[in-house]
Structures are given as C-alpha cells and as structure tokens.
Structure 1
Amino acid sequence: MINTIIFDFGDVFINLEKEKSIEEFKKLGLDGPNETLLAQNDLFEKGQITDVQFVESFQQFIPNASIEEITKAWNSVIGEFPLYRLEFLQLLSNKYRLFLLTNTDSIHINRFEHKVGMSFYSDFYRCFEKVYYSYEMGMRKPQPEIFTTIINKHDLSPKRTLFVDDKKENTDVAESLGLHVWNLQVGQEDVVNLFDQKHLPF
C-alpha cells in the first residue's frame, strides 16, 4: 500500500513551454541548445554556478543580447499552473506523505513564484512535507543519490513510495532503487488521473 508520493514539478504540475523558449532564444540569435550551454545548465541545476555566471554563459554565443533579454528568454519556458492540479494536490495531502523533487534553478523558481503569486505558491508548498530543488541539494535527477538522500532522511519505505516524473531516465533509476513509478506522458496523461492508472498499487 502506497503511503508516500514524490512528485516532479515541470510538466507534472506546471506546464513547460519548451518550444517557446527555443523561439525566444532564436530571436536573440541562438540557434538552439549546444553542449556548452547544456553543461552550464547541469552545473546551474546543481547550484554550482551563480545566476549571473549562467546567464553570462549565453553571451559568448549571443554577445549582443543583454542579461535581461537572456533571462526573459530563459524564463519563457515557465507556463501555466492549472488550479485544478493544485486542488487535486491539496486533497492528496490529506492522505499521503508528499514530497516535491525537481531539477530546477533559482531563476526559474523565482519566475514561477512571481508568476503565480504568494497565495498560490504558499498553498502549493504547504501540500508537501518537504520541497527539494536540485540547485539546493547540489545534485540532480537521475543521480541515484538524490533519491536515496530523501529516502534516508525521511525514513521512507521504497516499496510504499510512488515516484511521478515525465522523464523515463528518472523513473528508471527510481524503479531500480525499489520505488514504484509512474512515467507520466506529457500531453497524453495528467497528474490528476493518478488513480486511473490501474497498474499503480494503491
């Protein structure tokens, strides 16, 4: 019987507009992500470089773009957070131990909080026993350590814990550690249909 659920954030609760972000960067002269920027993003999501260092890393490819323009383009990925998902989460929080575990960075979290407002994000955070951001933990999914850290810190039983994430590489690692998983298919499934997933051991 499941008593704990660990949720991802992006494309599970808040919609991500990845194509829009790519388009915004194209307007600034950047033709899609590259190895250098992906490596910088990895460091940024682990909290190993600062906001300024991350944003400035774009300027070697788009030297005419300002810090503000780059930040705006970076944040254009943050889409809507439908109220019905928050209401669903609030109901769940009365029955399960809930945790949030997301690969993210300080710029995106600041944008999310500003976009939805204090009342909304406070209600959201209140649903969780603990919110885990990769940039605060110094590691990111799918590193096994990020899961074992939470399991050990909160004395969770993997066989009674469900992990929900839209990326298969993340759910694969969680599953290898003994957790139940739901690899949510973005655009085809919605987190509020959790109990419709007949294969989940509720």
Structure 2
Amino acid sequence: MPAKTIIFDFGGVLVDWNPRYLYKKIFSSETEMEWFLSNVCTPEWNQAMDAGKPFAEGIAELCERFPGFKEQISAFYDRWPEMLGGEITAGVGVLSELKAGGYRLYGLTNWSAETIPVAYSRFDFLRKLDGIVVSGEEKVIKPDPEIFRILLKRYDLKPEDCIFIDDNQQNTEAADALGFETVLFSDATDLRNRLRSAKIEIETVSGATLS
C-alpha cells in the first residue's frame, strides 16, 4: 500500500456546485440574481448550514428579514439539487487514477448534513473514498483546525503522511499549519504535476502509469 494518503475537498474539486444554476431560472436578469446572492442568500449565510445550522431555521430567519423574497429564499433548499452542475472531470479523473494506484483516499468537505445525501446518491465516484468527514455533521467547518483533527483521529492518519487538495487557499493554509502537504487545486494538469513532485505515482484507470 502506498504510504501517502490523499484527501479531497468536494465543491470546486470533485463537484460543480453553484447556486446560479438554480437562480438563473428564477430571476429574469443576471443583475437581480447577483444582488440576491450577494445580499440575501449569501455565501456567509450558506456557510452557516455547512456548519450544521438547520436549513429550516436559516430560511425562516431570512424570510423574516426579506419578506419580499420568501419564494426565492425557500428555493435554496426546496430546489437545492438544481444547484449541482455535475462532476468536475479533472478532479474525478485524478481521483480514479489514484484509486487505481492503491492510494488511500478520503473526503473532507464543507457541506450541509441535510443535502450531502443528494451528492452521495448522484455521484458514484464518492464511493471510491475510504472515508468522508462532512462539516455539517461535525458542526465545524474548514478552515477551523478542529475539522482536520477530526479527520485525522477518526481514520488514524498522520498529517505528515497526507496530501490535502482544496480549491480554497484559506483551507490549504490551515492544513499547512497542521503539517499536511497541500495542493491548491486549479486544474488536472497542475494537480498531476504537484502529486508527481510529491512522489505520487498516478495510474490510469486501466493501470498504465502516466509519464
């Protein structure tokens, strides 16, 4: 078994999630949509659900603050699957290659406990992971060091033996500080090059080593 363990973020690395996939169907103009996502259902508001807040509670609070947008706010949960654009083939391809090479693979994601089952049912490649830590289930989110410690303890991992891949620099910096080797994800070519620099042998699904 290869010594290194590879840990993947989900959104932006393996899964294409974007609320705009839904809200472009709801709003008549991009300007209205962007205002709504910047002022009502903001990334910071969604992050609270990633940290374990129930959607019902978060939506109720916003509907009270923005009564003119109740239908649009409620859609954030009621039509949440429409925010999934599909898998990110660059990241999933590398994951499959690493699996073929016998590496231990884990997931560490900021994701609501209420919506992660949708991802599990839609994306078969998540079954290739040897374990997953979901922020909404733990009620702590990246870049908080505690969620990294939860991952390490649960799966008996050592940070110096792990490579953590994420598209968010704050998260990679937090992992760096704990002793992880990290890759800030941008594309498959850069990821493969960074992994090879870390002495990771990447295999194709058929088993042939990529040079």
Matched ranges for 1:140-179 at <5 A: 140-179=141-180
Which is higher, the Rg of structure 1 or of structure 2?
A: 2
Alpha-carbon offset, residue 125 of structure 1: 3.2
| Root mean square deviation, CA, Å | 3.2
1:100 aligns with 2:107: yes
Q: Deviations over 1:106-146 (max 9, x none)?
A: 344244345x3xxxx3x423211211110001100000111
- Contact kept in structure 1, 2:41 and 2:73, CA below 8 Å: no
Q: Which residue pairs with 1:194 in the alignment?
A: 191
Q: Residues 59 and 74 of structure 2 are in contact (CA less than 8 Å); yes or no, is this contact kept in structure 1? A: no
Query: What aligned pairs does 1:77-156 form with structure 2 within 5 A after superposition?
Result: 77-81=83-87, 86=92, 88-94=94-100, 95-113=102-120, 116=122, 121=123, 123-156=124-157
* 2:17 aligned residue: 16
> What SS class does the counterpart of residue 31 from structure 1 fall into?
helix
Q: Which residue of 2 aligns with 1:44?
A: 49
Three-state SS of the structure 2 residue aligned to 1:33 is: helix
Deviation at 1:83, TM superposition (A): 6.2
Cα distance change of structure 1 residues 150 and 112 upon mapping to structure 2, 3 Å threshold: closer
Q: TM-score, normalising length from structure 2?
A: 0.73
1:45 and 1:105 in contact (8 A); partners too:
yes
8 A contact 2:161–2:180 mirrored in 1: yes
Give the distance between the partners of 1:70 and 1:63, measured in 2 at CA.
11
How many Å separate the matches in 1 of 2:90 and 2:182? 22
Structure 1: give runs of 5+ residues left out of the alignment.
none
**What SS does the aligned partner of 1:15 have?**
strand
Kindly tell me the number of residue pairs found equivalent between the two proteins.
Answer: 191
CA distance in 2, matches of 1:100, 1:91: 16
Q: Gaps (5+ residues) in structure 2?
A: 201-211
Contact 1:37 1:58 in 2 (8 A): no
1:163 counterpart SS class? strand
Pair 1:68–1:111, CA change in 2 (3 A): farther
Structure 1 residue 16, shift from structure 2 partner: 2.5
SS for the counterpart of 2:108 is strand
